[in-house]
Amino acid sequence: MNENIKTEIEHNFLESLLSGNKANCSALVKQYLAINPSIMDLYEEILKKALYSVGVLWETNNISVATEHLATAITEGILNELFEQIISNKRCNKKVLVTCVENEAHQVGIKMVADVFEMNGWESFFIGTGIPTKELIRSVHEIKPDVVAISLSVYFNYSRLLNMLKKMRAEFPELQFIVGGQAFQHSSQKGITEIENVIHIPDLYLLDKYVKTLNNNH
């Protein structure tokens, strides 16, 4: 894709998100996919970049909470529209449980993560935002996933993530955990690397490679 066209779509999508123009956001997504049919590129280059920009504007008090919520809702709506194009007909009989750190309400990023697993034939279970660790442990016992993916959007909640992982590790010593999210842009991953079977994956491209590796190993 021509870099100027991509930059223009990226800029217009962010502006449309901030103004609450859902129809224009949807049209821009269709325009992008008509030029580049890669859902992965759309997620990483347009949707994720826009949401990260919205997050920074919100953190620095340059937009209201209402504007941030509206931008999130519009993007989530687009993800729902695209789901039929995402789910793979080839299933691999694997399950991933996706969630957010306790007390967080930002779920779009983790839904993109769920979609990457679905593209690779996995069955994804999204159990909601801000779920208490006790309830997450119960869900893992019930669903018995092969992987648990946890999103951290707000760096203020980093200590909650560490506590969550330590409790989960004690309960499920062999289970693989993936963590990621915007908050890791401000973090050195302190404490994460000390917990066994926990890896930080910074973007969807690397996540896709990781999932494909899991598929090939079994």
Give the 3-state secondary structure of the chain.
CCHHHHHHHHHHHHHHHHHCCHHHHHHHHHHHHHHCCCHHHHHHHHHHHHHHHHHHHHHCCCCCHHHHHHHHHHHHHHHHHHHHHHCCCCCCCCEEEEEECCCCCCCHHHHHHHHHHHHCCCEEEECCCCCCHHHHHHHHHHHCCCEEEEECCCHHHHHHHHHHHHHHHHHCCCCEEEEECHHHHHCCCCCCCCCCCEEECCCHHHHHHHHHHHHHHC
When comparing pLDDT for 43 and 184, which is higher? 43
pLDDT tens-place string over residues 77-127: 999 999 888 888 889 999 999 999 988 888 899 999 999 999 999 999 998
Residue with tokens 């208490």: 132
Average pLDDT over residues 160-165: 94
Q: Is the pLDDT of residue 49 over 80?
A: yes
Query: What top-level class would CATH report for the domain 95-217?
Result: alpha beta
Structure tokens at 87: 């789910």
CATH assignment, 3-86? 1.10.1240.10
The reported pLDDT for the residue numbered 188 is 65
Q: With pLDDT > 90 as the criterion, what percentage of the chain qualifies? A: 74
pLDDT tens-place string over residues 182-202: 888 876 677 787 889 999 999
The reported pLDDT for the residue numbered 161 is 93
Report yes or no: 61 and 108 within 8 Å, Cβ to Cβ.
Answer: no
The reported pLDDT for the residue numbered 17 is 96
pLDDT tens-place string over residues 122-151: 999 998 787 899 999 999 999 999 999 999
Average pLDDT, the chain: 92
Report yes or no: 203 and 173 within 8 Å, Cβ to Cβ.
Answer: no
Average pLDDT over residues 158-179: 94
Structure tokens at 17: 């998100």
Report yes or no: 100 and 135 within 8 Å, Cβ to Cβ.
Answer: no
Positions of CATH 1.10.1240.10 in the chain: 3-86
Positions of CATH 3.40.50.280 in the chain: 95-217
- Is the pTM higher than 0.85? yes
Q: At 151, give phi and psi (nearest 5°).
A: -100, 140
> What is the band of 2 on the pLDDT scale with cuts at 50, 70, 90?
confident
